[in-house]
Amino acid sequence: MVTRGIRGATTVTQNNEEQILKETAVLLQEIVDRNDIKPEDICSVWITMTGDLDAAFPAKAIRQLEGWELVPLMCALEVPVKGALPKCIRFMVHVNTTKDQHEINHVYLNGAQSLRPDLAAPSNS
């Protein structure tokens, strides 16, 4: 078993708690579903947001999910690069897995699909 990183990103249209928490939960669920993982497989989740989002900690949405109470979560501010995608939430999920690197499914939703169109495959559901 090895530890792999799963990338994910999404955007919101407004800087409010409801949208930040909702889209955070949607992104996490897509990562879990597309990679067939469960909370006990997760080493940690690193979450960043762009500086224009300050209405909520996205980790709050994850901590409220059943089974995720003990998963280490960390929120940070994304590097403020001029011209970067606004209102963006990014994940780096560290997971223990037997999958090879090419078997990992990264998830890019909403406006974040523009960040990595090569990886922004549609949902399998």
Write out the catalytic residue numbers: 7, 63, 75, 78, 90, 108, 116
Q: How far is CA 2 from CA 19, 83, 87, 106, in A?
A: 34, 36, 32, 17
In the block, which residue shows the tokens 């559901």?
Answer: 125
CA gap 80, 17 in Å, rounded: 21
Residues 11 and 87: their CA atoms lie apart, in Å, by: 5
Tokens (6 digits) for 108: 């890019």
- Whether 5 contacts 35, CB under 8 Å: no
